[in-house]
Amino acid sequence: MKLAVVGSGHVGLVAGACFAELGHEVILVDNDPARVTALQRGEAPIHEQFLPELLERHRHTRLSFTGDLAAAVQASRVIFIAVGTPPAEDGAADLSYVESVARGIAGSIHSYKVVVEKSTVPVYTSNWIRTIMLRNGAPPELFDVASNPEFLREGSAVADFLFPDRIVIGADTVRCATVLRDCYLPLAGGSYYLCPGAIPTPDQAQVPPPLIETTAKSSELIKHASNAFLAMKISYINAVASICESVGANVEQVVRGIGSDSRIGPRFLRPGIGYGGSCFPKDLTAFRAVARESGCDFRLLDEVIRINEEQRQRFLGKVRKALWILKGKRLAVLGLAFKGGTDDVRESPALAIVQALLREGCEIAAYDPAAASRAAEIITDQRLTFAKSAYGAAEQADALLILTDWEEFAELDLSRLHTALRYPIVIDGRNLYDPEKMAENGLVYLSMGRPDAIPEKRTDLNLKAA
């Protein structure tokens, strides 16, 4: 099938490359000429596992790039809208880019097309896209508007697309639903998984995935409701971790007890410094705005957001607890991206903590395997320097802070780390290490929701002070 994907951001680029992997002919449209040229050269603008391989595999055959929306629409049967929907001042999604694309599509329709929301949008967006297209001259019998939300995690987006938990198709006509089913037939029918060149199957992947058909409005709500629920699980376990610290319990033991319940499950029950990125913060505020516009007081979402913001302050409190005065301290920071496996620093709790520490007068040496250059664009304070390794960042630091869950941060040489640090203090916002093991290696170790670990011979600490 011939498809067009409008927008080459995280969602659009991954979707375009993966649809090409499934055998479709894909035209990826972007209004940034420099970005289009870079993609034509095979340059991946985002850090995402398997994406460079898919671009190299398909860009000269089934995947092309252009800035000509009209030509792409005319050449394609299905047009996926994957442009940005940033938050407005009131928290609602800014849909001006979606509206602009809808106007552009309307003027280029000469045969039946399916126009698909791939961006995360509030309920009723499909109705508005249809209205805008009709106002701009699109014949009503020549198009349908559908919703097909993405459920991609940054860092594993390609695997999430090709091995999804579910495929959701929101269509209000049989003709539209049939076309969208055909788009995903290689996944829902299982044929892709028999191909010798398929990417490796992730652990616990359901093959083939279920395909869920709904109305467009239900599909739009599924995306926002899903992300809000996952964010709620994160904030819930962070609140539980705070209680664990107060009573001397171990949150990881509590998580095992909670997560073993099949009705709850262990996923997203990982205490830390809070969620971030381009999805959860934006989608929660947008979902809250939708609820308010609908006359619903969804106060639970307010509390989820409040707990998430409070978690960063709790971590800063741990740094003060270990070091007392922060002004003039040299700190090593591991991780700047909002999570491991990506270079995305949007709404990164790690970056927010770094900025707060700089305001306190700290000097920071930071290391991130992928996100340093993006962080440098946001924070220009000269007291923030970027190291080439975790050990380089730790050199003569008063403490080491772990802020992102990169795999390599969980496999450090603890003896070498101990030698590099000025004081052997590690404050772990991602609970990557076993406290007893850290103490055995002579490291003072503070983590989230677990008792502090202190080597037996250390008497120079007063960790009871807040």
Distance of CA 421 to the CA centre of its chain: 32
Q: What is the pLDDT of residue 51?
A: 96
pLDDT exceeding 90 applies to what percent of the chain? 88
Q: Mean pLDDT in the chain?
A: 94
Shared domain for 227 and 160, answered yes or no, is no
Q: What is the pLDDT of residue 436?
A: 95
Lowest mean pLDDT among 344-353, 386-395, 451-460: 451-460
Shared domain for 106 and 230, answered yes or no, is no
pLDDT greater at residue 322 or residue 456: 322
Cα separations (Å) of 392 from 38, 193, 207, 285, 324? Answer: 33, 43, 43, 39, 24
Q: Over 60: is that where the pLDDT of 81 sits? A: yes
Structural domain contains residue 24: yes
Place of tokens 């640090």: 421
Shared domain for 45 and 98, answered yes or no, is yes
Cα separations (Å) of 352 from 63, 122, 311? Answer: 38, 27, 11
Q: Looking at the DSSP assignment, which residues form a beta bridge with residue 345?
A: none
Structural domain contains residue 403: no
Looking at the structure of the chain, the number of domains it has is: 2
CATH number of the domain to which 72 belongs: 3.40.50.720
Cα dihedral 415, 420, 423, 426, rounded to 10, equals -60
Question: What pLDDT digit, counting tens, does each position of 281-313 carry?
Answer: 889 999 998 898 889 989 999 999 999 999 999
Structural domain contains residue 364: no
CB 93 within 8 A of CB 124: no
Shared domain for 198 and 274, answered yes or no, is no
Of 331, 353, 330, 442, nearest to 404 by C-alpha is 353
Question: How would residue 120 be classed by pLDDT, with cut points 50, 70 and 90?
Answer: confident
CATH number of the domain to which 280 belongs: 1.10.1040.10
Of 63, 77, 131, nearest to 109 by C-alpha is 77
Structural domain contains residue 172: yes
Shared domain for 293 and 145, answered yes or no, is no
Shared domain for 69 and 128, answered yes or no, is yes
Q: Which residues are catalytic?
A: 279
End-of-domain residue from the set 193, 214, 235:
214
Question: How would residue 373 be classed by pLDDT, with cut points 50, 70 and 90?
Answer: very high
**DSSP secondary structure string, 231-250?**
HHHHHHHHHHHHHHHHHT--
Shared domain for 120 and 176, answered yes or no, is yes
Strand ranges (DSSP E) for 148-259? Answer: 167-170, 211-214
Of 89, 78, 83, nearest to 146 by C-alpha is 78
Structural domain contains residue 176: yes
Shared domain for 185 and 237, answered yes or no, is no
Q: Over 80: is that where the pLDDT of 354 sits? A: yes
- Which residues form the domain of 273? 223-307
Cα separations (Å) of 239 from 221, 307, 384? Answer: 26, 7, 31
Shared domain for 246 and 265, answered yes or no, is yes
Structural domain contains residue 421: no
pTM higher than 0.75: yes
End-of-domain residue from the set 192, 214, 236:
214
Structural domain contains residue 59: yes
Query: Could you tell me the two tokens for 331?
Result: 């700190």
Shared domain for 87 and 189, answered yes or no, is yes
Shared domain for 44 and 139, answered yes or no, is yes
Shared domain for 153 and 43, answered yes or no, is yes
Structural domain contains residue 282: yes
End-of-domain residue from the set 167, 192, 214:
214
